[in-house]
Amino acid sequence: MHRVGIVGAGSISRIHAAAWARLPVKLAGWHDVVPEAAVAAAERWGGRAFDSLEDLLAASDIVDVCTNVTAHPEPVLAAAHAGKAIVCEKPLARTVAQCEEILAVCTERQVPLFVAHVVRFFPEFEAARRTVQAGTIGKPGMIRTVRAGGFPRMGGGAAARRYADFEQSGGVIMDVGIHDIDFHRWCMGEVERVFARGLLEAGVPQCDHALLVLRFESGAIGHIEASWAHTPGRTRTHLEIAGDQGLVAWDSRDPASLSWRTRADDMPMAQNALQEADHPYFAELAHFLDCLDKGREFRVTPHDALMAVKVSQAALRSIRTGQPVAIADFRE
């Protein structure tokens, strides 16, 4: 049975731990730069608290990196050099250069790397993409998504300071918008260029709000609204993909999770698929484990994770320059 070591015992690690607890793995334990956080997590979820990353690596076959983004490269690279299979929370890293270094080491060491872009595992988003792939709405020309909630940590503390520090978090685009950048690429293919507007320069990170327009190589257009400016509580998500034969749409405020209507069939179809096994954070780790055991490619490849960071960084440059930014020749 695979032994899982979790690095970073903050908020997302608890969701991962709950999912690992329902999978056929053994939780080896936790490491955190704040030792009490690792101890508290081990008491709640099991496994040991490891004082050092090296000790955790020695006791693990899978390393699950749940640290804040600027603290991803160190444990990911250490795990890769130690030949461990890796799960890493999104974004893979804060910069494109760091992502490229990680990809190079993982390729050289032939280490499986899965970046947890969880939106690909939300049943409604997955089903919307399936609908597009099946040709139900014809040729897709436009995708629009909204991911709007409050600042992640209104209560303050170290995590809030990290999210509020643009250099550390990358603001709402790197934290929230990147989910949709990845989903848009998954549905529509490669991004040719991005144009973005945002409140980055306004100096109030807790109210960061950004709008991105993506132009895909196919000629299709994507629109992403990512916001921390709402009152705290549930994040609202909205999705529309329009094709020349119909529209697939979802809004988290609707009672029916997913509906679609086509020109061929005027009867709206609805799907509400949230069974326990469909819980996206469970589904992504179950998928990781299944692919690992069967030697299959992950739904999110390391290249996908790199491209999500690249398009995010290009969007940030667009906000700063007021110009669209081409992805193919984008360099930091």
246: left (phi over 0), alpha (psi -120 to 50) or beta: left
Looking at the Cβ atoms of 30 and 250, the one nearer to ligand NAD is 30
225 interacts with ligand NAD by CB under 6 A: no
Q: Which of 20, 32, 60, 62 binds ligand NAD (CB under 6 A)?
A: 32
The answer to the question of residue 37 lying near ligand NAD (CB under 6 A) is yes
Cα–Cα distance between 120 and 285 in angstroms, integer?
A: 12
Looking at 67, 145, 237, 313, which residue binds ligand NAD (CB under 6 A)? Answer: 67
Q: Determine the Cα–Cα distance for residues 128 and 123; give it in Å rounded to an integer.
A: 8
Shortest distance, position 49 Cβ to ligand NAD, whole Å = 11
Sort 215 into a burial class: Cβ within 10 Å, 0-12 / 13-18 / 19+: middle
Our CA angle for 154, 158, 164, nearest 5°, is 55
* Site track 69-108 with ligand NAD (rule: CB under 6 A), x = hit: x-x--x--------------xx------------------
Span near ligand NAD by CB under 6 A; candidates 18-26, 32-40, 107-115, 139-147: 32-40
Whether omega for the bond prior to residue 75 falls within 30 degrees of 0, making it cis, is no
Binding-site member from 17, 28, 49, 118 for ligand NAD (CB under 6 A): 118
Residue 54, interface with ligand NAD (CB under 6 A)?
A: no
Instruction: Report the run of H or E that residue 324 belongs to, with start and end.
Output: none
34 touches ligand NAD (CB under 6 A): yes
Three-class SS state of 195:
strand
The correct pick among 4, 5, 6, 8 for binding ligand NAD (CB under 6 A) is 8
Looking only at residues 140 through 169 of this chain, which bind ligand NAD when binding is defined by CB under 6 A? Answer: 159, 162
Does the footprint of ligand NAD cover residue 27 (CB under 6 A)? no
Among 8-16, 100-108, 187-195, 201-209, the segment contacting ligand NAD (CB under 6 A): 8-16
Interface residue with ligand NAD, options 4, 7, 56, 143 (CB under 6 A): 7
Tell me the two tokens of residue 130: 């399936």
| Spatial distance between the Cα atoms of 176 and 117, rounded to a whole number of angstroms | 11
Q: Which two tokens stand for residue 209?
A: 């709000």
Given 64, 126, 175, 182, the residue binding ligand NAD (CB under 6 A): 175
Binding mask 234-273 toward ligand NAD (x if CB under 6 A, else -) reads ----------------------------------------
Nearer to ligand NAD, 281 or 330 (CB): 281
Beta strand segments in the chain, E: 3-7, 26-31, 48-49, 62-65, 85-89, 113-116, 140-148, 191-198, 209-216, 221-227, 236-243, 246-251, 258-262, 269-271, 325-326
Residue ranges in contact with ligand NAD by CB under 6 A: 7-12, 31-34, 37, 66-69, 71, 74, 89-90, 116, 118, 159, 162, 175
